[in-house]
Chains A and B, each alone.
Chain A
Amino acid sequence: MARRLNLWRWAVLGLAALYFLIPMAASVLFTVDVPGEGVTFDAYTQIVSADGFLSSLLLSLELAVATIAVVLLLTVPAVVALRLSAPRLRPVVEIVCSLPLVVPPIAFVAGIVTVLKWGPDHLSRTPLFETFVAVQNPDFPVVLVIAYVVMALPFVYRALDAGLRAVDVRTLVEAARSCGASWPQALVRAVLPNLRGALLNASFLTLALVLGEFTVARLLGFEPFAVWIYDVGGSQAQMSVAVSVLSLLVTWALLLALAGAGGRDRTASSRG
């Protein structure tokens, strides 16, 4: 009985390993084994010098940093305040932060496109028009940061909420306050260090989301990393696959670091 169970288990695991490893192995093979040229690593060496690689990667990283900063600045004070003095608002915030889950990215971007069209259509004579132009600056599209913050909200809120559940915020703050700390001091030096794991978790989830995001950026006409891979794919198949392999390795590294940092919320942003 035990022997049969073991056989069955290894069969299942083996089949799964085959299904999940073959595309990886084949992709690597595809990039190094060029028909007519033999084994070559050109696809990988070309990446760095490729047109748009550095600029798109930098743009994605900048967007990620900005998104993480904004989303944490918005949510951290809010979730702490909800614990301390406004518990009645908690269901409201919970619902608001979960709403983006109901709107798929493609539907969200359809709404954003419509709003952005109001700029030229209705507001061209008002000072608001300048704002509309400014948020769409291709060097640093603020509109993407805004969109990504909304898309990251559900995951960040859940990560922080789970982290706070393990911390007695009220006692921490009252202790800090009675030792003479001001409100900001109590928050930064007593509460935040206890939330380190949750903050890291939330940041990594947001980072993974922004680095892989394609839908919103493409339909708004910007070219961060994921869109660049897509654009390259049309002309240089080998290199686009090489970049895909690399980006998977980066994601692995990121999420392994996340697992190492003690995070456990693994279902971040599976929406392709």
Chain B
Amino acid sequence: MTATLTRADVAAAASQKRRRRAPGWLAVVPLLAFTAVAFGLPAVAMLNGAFTVKDPVSGTSSYTASNLSDSLQGPYLTALVGSVKLSALSAVIAAVLGLPLAQAVVSSRSRALREAVLTASGVLANFGGVPLAFAFVATLGNAGVLTVHLHLADHGWDLYSFWGLVLVYLYFLIPLMVLTITPALDGLRAQWREAALNNGATGVQYWRFVALPVLAPSLLGGFVLLFGSAFAAYATAAAMVGSAVPLVTLQIADALSGNVLVGQENVALALSLDMVLVAGLVMAVYLPLQRRSARWLDA
């Protein structure tokens, strides 16, 4: 007891000395100031723009909610729904396929296999964007190697479609799922399985009543993370489908570059705000889930 007291005293004295010389928060100020300008300004501009309209005649701007309601109608709504559908579907498929893959790695005793798959997942999860799109165009596009050699076009295959995008998105979503779920699978104790089997459970029953309920928060958290990742993706879709598939990111890009109609910039900002709200919701679901599943890992 005495020892702790003295240590606390020393620490207090030391921190007093520090405070006189160089207050610690001074080192944090540049970071906060930078984010306030570099992140805060665009964010405020987006919020402000999403709620203003400029009268083309008089040039005066006024506050309104019409941009937001426009962004939830017609082609914009189609794009938003398209994005949500695409992201949700690819995330579900990636989660369902990523789980057995991760389990195959975790249950194997080979350390080399495990390292190889996890490193590859780390690389592939980061392999989005333009190169990924072009790799798939070369494989399954109209003149792609597989399309030509297997005559896929005769069977109605089209890469530049909703399902084509799903197939491409899985390429970085499955590895992301493997990375997210592996720690949780590591947390499943062998004893739980043995206990279940000893009590007469079948393998399926073990998964249905023991493993999956324990994994549920991690699975849901992984799904939400994948959803957010797919929802925000722009480069892959832009390089692959142009605007053949209605997606909110493509709509924003079109409206920003004035491709569709002049004066749609503020609707683009409203759409961006819609995206931020969805992404915020995703984070609000993900973070508590992550904390919850972290508890299992530590236990």
Residues of A within 8 A of B (CB): 5, 8-9, 12-13, 16, 19-20, 22-24, 26-27, 29-31, 33, 73-75, 77-78, 80-82, 84-86, 89, 92-93, 96-115, 118, 146-147, 149-150, 153, 174, 183, 208, 212, 214-215, 218-219, 226, 229-230, 233, 237, 240-241, 243-245, 247-248, 251-252, 255-256, 259, 266-272
Chain B: minimal CB distance from A171 (Å)? 11
Q: Are A111 and B172 in contact (CB under 8 A)?
A: no
Give the CA-CA distance A60 to B288 in the complex, in Å: 37
Q: Are B128 and A272 in contact (CB under 8 A)?
A: yes
For the residues of A in contact with B, the DSSP-based class is helix
A215/B283 contact (C-beta < 8 A), A85-B18, A270-B125 known = no
Query: Using Cβ atoms and an 8 Å threshold, which residues of chain A touch B48?
Result: 114
The segment from B62-70, B248-256, B291-299 that touches chain A is B248-256
Give the CA-CA distance A208 to B275 in the complex, in Å: 24
Q: Are B31 and A75 in contact (CB under 8 A)?
A: yes
Q: Are A103 and B43 in contact (CB under 8 A)?
A: yes
> Which residues of B from 93 to 121 have beta carbons under 8 Å from A?
100-101, 104-105, 107-108, 113, 117-121
Other-chain contact of A272, B34, B118, B129 (Cβ < 8 Å): B129
The segment from B133-141, B186-194, B212-220 that touches chain A is B133-141
Q: Are B14 and A174 in contact (CB under 8 A)?
A: yes
Chain B: minimal CB distance from A179 (Å)? 15
Give the CA-CA distance A228 to B81 in the complex, in Å: 31
11 cross-chain CB contacts under 8 A? A30-B145, A77-B30, A97-B35, A102-B283, A111-B43, A114-B48, A149-B38, A150-B38, A218-B238, A226-B235, A230-B238
Q: Are B31 and A93 in contact (CB under 8 A)?
A: yes
Chain B: minimal CB distance from A249 (Å)? 10
Chain A: minimal CB distance from B158 (Å)? 17
A29/B145 contact (C-beta < 8 A), A78-B31, A229-B134 known = yes
Query: Using Cβ atoms and an 8 Å threshold, which residues of chain A touch B232?
Result: 104-106, 271
Chain B: minimal CB distance from A126 (Å)? 16
Q: Is B229 an interface residue (CB 8 A)?
A: yes
Q: Are B125 and A248 in contact (CB under 8 A)?
A: no
Q: Are B31 and A24 in contact (CB under 8 A)?
A: no
A interface footprint on B251-279 (CB within 8 Å = 1, 0 otherwise):
01100110000000100110011011001
